[in-house]
A and B are shown apart, each in its own frame.
Chain A
Amino acid sequence: MKYSYKLISEYIDGVISPEKLIRYLEILGLNPLVVEKDKDDIVFDLETPANRGDLLSLIGVAREILPFTSASIKLPPLVFKETSNRIVPVKIEDKDDCIYYSCRVIEKVSVKETDIYIKEKIEKLGYRSNLNVIDISNYVMAEIGQPLHIFDLDKIDGFIEVRRGRKGESLVTIDGKKREIDENVLVIADSKKTIAIAGIMGGQNSEVTADTKNILIESAIFNPVVVRRGSKKIGLATEASARFERGISTDICKMGMSRTAFLIQEISRGDIGPLSESGRNKETLLPVVRFDMAKVNKFSGVEIEEEFVLDLLKRLNFKVKKEKKSFVVSPPSYRNDIKEDVDIIEEIVRYRHYETIPPSMPFTSINPTPCSPEVETLEKIRDICVQLGFTEVVHMGLTSGENVNFNREIIPVEIENPISSNLKFLRTSLIPEMLETIRFNIYHGARSFNLFEIGKVYSRKKDSFEEDIVLSFMSINSGDFFILKGKLEKLFDKLNLKNIQFKKQSGIFSTDNNLTIYLGASEFQSDAGLGAERGKQSGCPRGVTGSDSDRQRGVSPYGSNRESDYLDDIFIGNIFILSDEIKDKFDIRKFEICGSEIVLEKIIEKASFVKFFKEPSKYPSSRRDFSFFFPENIEWGEIENTILSLNLPVEKIECFDFYKADNMTDNTISISFSVFFRSDTGTLENEDVVNFSEKIIEIISLKLKGKLRGAGGET
């Protein structure tokens, strides 16, 4: 509904300017928004709180602003004469569903178009004008807050019954729509048929028309929850249902009935019959709330005068009694939002005006405050990703069935009431949404870019739902696979993660070009002299597809116990060259796309940012370059680990060349690498380095069947 200054003023015994009215409503937080203004009136909307049904009425708003003024409330006339004795009996099936029901007959009513006088009021309130009796019922609803319904008496058979709907039943409501009804919907019926949906809308079969001669007015209190369920069930919310859902008091209900009868008799004459009622016709015991000034001040942070409080509560129509230091207060029946002392405190602070309470800083103890451990690590990971040149994206995480089907091993979490089919599931991987974003940006002219996202993925387990934090990288036309792999390795290095293993296995986003990544369970650190450092500095072999750099295997000779080593390793993700098949699906065929997806839970657990100084060696390093022919399926990790197993003072090993020449028909590849020797304890002599080199050549030819092609270097 809309509110009008002029109409509200009718209920105030005194004069308030429209500007003041608006100002008061602003102070009270009802956010008046003026929609119409003419020379002597303003029409406005209000944002009324969901627990204040009483403010959905002109009288309610008049009452609300009274404490700012010296005026008092002026209630409209209600007294009329009963000149008919016709009565329609009322039955209530369940008094929990319908707390109170009353109806009254008016005979010989002159139903016609509304007088201009009522019509103007009705339209100001935002309703469409109708027949006079309907307009009156709408006006009384806006005036008092009680929804009313008017039936054509001659279309009603026998009695009125309030009961639950029956399965299979339906009713055409006055808006011309057929409503399917079941036992969740409360209805009004007569002895033969259903005539209205209780608290929501009347039926066409009992509707008042221009030919109506006799009417039946309904004023009732329906259970708020039942009305709400019914409204959701049939998908219809009305001005009436909004008020019933917020709760109506008996006083208001009775006043609504009398006022309607009075106005109908005054405007369209007719003979009013006696009240027919059922249910609880008296207000139940109103709540008694006890509060004291100390608590008011404790909550508000300012000293509020007792006099102000007493005056306010009286002007709000609260009954107040002082008992020693505390007040015992009972609110008027239409204030069903007042239940305990803080509700009173809120009223006091509102009328005191929030703006008059000065802001201040709390004096508080400095004590450790709870902090989720992952937050800081996640932010550090985010920083590293940006340092590595990735741009952050954020996706909704709601996605289509197609997108969660990439990984059929995960049972996706499905939304029961989605807004659309492409937002029906919670994502099981960050990649599909990434691919959509890649397509979007390619369509908009981007050609080479790197993306990352940190977000949750969700899955349904037998009897639980799970969510995991995941990191995803995507590189689009930004160098080959090894650039991305190198960045990932850099991230692991920065997180100080030991024992990361890459294993060639087929993945969801690439069957052929996918490495599965494991975090080794055993966290031993190699003591192999300077070998311990090599993990951090070793260069990444270019062009060796599917290499498995088993980094931390330096001490145990490669090959032993390999199976059992993997048993305890934790899966943390994949890195892949996106398959053409998936590229086609997303229409991004022409682009080189590599990606990775990492589960962060274990990483967060094991990551460490602790740094400790290590003195750089004072002695020079010596470099030796080696070129070998290896069997084609050699893995870089094997070469590295074989050299490290010698326990030589190796500082780092760098692979600098790799090729398979056309004329090498014998399934071998040529790999060239440099080994840097350095000792902490002295300068390495040339004989030492020569000796080391011989050992390396020997072990490589022995264990890895490497054929030396050439060696050399500098000291």
Chain B
Amino acid sequence: MELEEIKKRIKDVSEKAEKELLEIVEGESDKLEIWKVKYLGRKGEINNLFALLPHLSSGEKKEAGMLINEMKEKLNTAYEERISITGKQEKHKINLSFPGKRPETGSFHPITIISREISTIFTKMGFGIVTGPDIETDYYNFEALNIPAEHPSKDVWDTFYLSEKEKILLRTHTSPVQIRIMEKTAPPFRVIAIGKCFRRDDIDATHSPVFHQIEGLMVDRGINFSHLKGILTHFIMELFGNNIKVKFTPSFFPFTEPSAEVSMSCNICKGNGCPTCHNTGYIEILGCGMVHPQVFRNVGYDTDEFTGFAFGMGIERLAIIKLGITDIRYFFQNDLRVIKQFS
């Protein structure tokens, strides 16, 4: 296209634009905006004119470019003037019915949520929170707890060894903390310990080689089995509600005697029987008992003066019951779709 032809095209566009602009009258701010897009928009007719220039010589390019720019400026001014006639376009009405924009917030892992609930209940009753190492010796994990070296009673604690020769292992329960705290504390006292435990269990819906436990220990003069029942019944009702029934049945742990297993009425079927409680109406939730005198002797406590009770429970198990989580694997899979449910 020759320069002259382009000049003519510029003039045509300019005249057409001016004519259309004059037709826009008062109140037609919508039309004015449409006009603006048509001519002055980024892909409007004026900008399109620049596409015609590349074939021209540089002098001609300059001339035509200036003409287009002049026209653009002129139309811009005309547009601004026209606004005073049509009135400003009404502000866009906001539709408040759209959903809000939710900020991302952090959330706690269910293990933390349940651990905190449990420790709050016990700290309210004056229990302190103590900790111990994950890497333990056979002495603290077994021997001091009156668990005989080679006896079937050890079978429930299938152990990961770091050095079987040196008797170093990953603790199979939080009970070693009992021994460690008694070794350096004179009674009376009451504590709970929370932490990871490790057992050589294959992974399935109810087993995990790593899980968390809460251990409790109270030692004083005159502590008896009735107190053990009192403290734990209170704990379970605080955690699960006052309508829960609690049942103590005899059990066996080498480090407690008498020992008990505590069950509560199934919170899913309300005691009517369901798969979770194996149709018994009750779910086992923790093990406990009066501290065995041999354990006290191992830490040098006077068994005539002091008695005490101890208890232990799996946090994942309590979380499963309380939060209705169906598979222990969810705790370590860290699926955000699961964790975020409890924030």
Contact = CB atoms under 8 A, between A and B. Distances in A.
B150 interface: yes
A67 interface: no
Nearest to B108: A392
Contacts of B109: 392-394
A456 B197 CA distance: 12
Contacts of B131: 372, 374-375
Given A346-B257, A364-B188, A465-B162, 10 more contacts: A225-B150, A302-B226, A355-B248, A375-B131, A382-B112, A393-B334, A419-B209, A423-B209, A440-B333, A465-B135
A372 B128 CA distance: 8
A26 interface: yes
B151 A417 contact: no
B86 interface: no
Given A301-B227, A396-B209, A444-B335, A467 B258 contact: no
A450 B151 CA distance: 48
B336 A416 contact: no
Contacts of B331: 394
B339 A444 contact: no
A417 B161 contact: yes
Nearest to A349: B258
Nearest 10 A/B pairs, CB to CB: A29-B250, A301-B226, A49-B252, A301-B224, A50-B153, A386-B106, A369-B128, A359-B229, A371-B128, A346-B258
Contact of A369 (B164, B190, B200): B190
A410 interface: no
A50 B191 contact: no
B242 interface: no
Contacts of B153: 49-51
Interface string A45-88: 00001111000000000000000000000000000000000000
19 contacts: A50-B152, A50-B156, A51-B153, A228-B152, A229-B150, A245-B151, A301-B226, A345-B258, A360-B227, A361-B234, A391-B339, A394-B111, A396-B208, A396-B209, A398-B210, A416-B164, A417-B200, A441-B335, A450-B106
A342 B161 CA distance: 32
A415 B161 contact: yes
A417 B160 contact: yes
B332 A394 contact: yes
Contact of B225 (A50, A349, A416): A349
Contact of B155 (A50, A360, A397): A50
B200 A28 contact: no
A358 interface: yes
Contacts of A534: none
Nearest to A364: B220
Contact of B226 (A355, A359, A458): A359
Q: How large is the interface on A (under 10, 10 to 19, 20 to 34, 35 or more residues)?
A: 35 or more
Given A346-B259, A354-B248, A370 B231 contact: no
Interface string B129-151: 11101110000000000000111
A49 B251 CA distance: 7
A37 interface: no
Interface string B248-266: 1111101001111100000
B292 A362 contact: no
Nearest to A441: B336
Nearest to A367: B188
Nearest to B280: A33
B233 interface: yes
A282 to B, nearest CB: 24
Given A359-B230, A440-B333, A29 B249 contact: yes
A354 B162 CA distance: 40
A393 B339 contact: yes
B210 A450 contact: no
A387 B343 CA distance: 12
Contacts of A51: 151, 153, 252, 254
Interface in A414-470: 414-419, 423, 426, 437, 440-441, 444, 446, 448-452, 456, 458, 465, 467
A659 B232 CA distance: 64
A300 interface: yes
Interface in A3-51: 26-29, 31, 49-51
B163 A440 contact: no
A358 B246 CA distance: 12
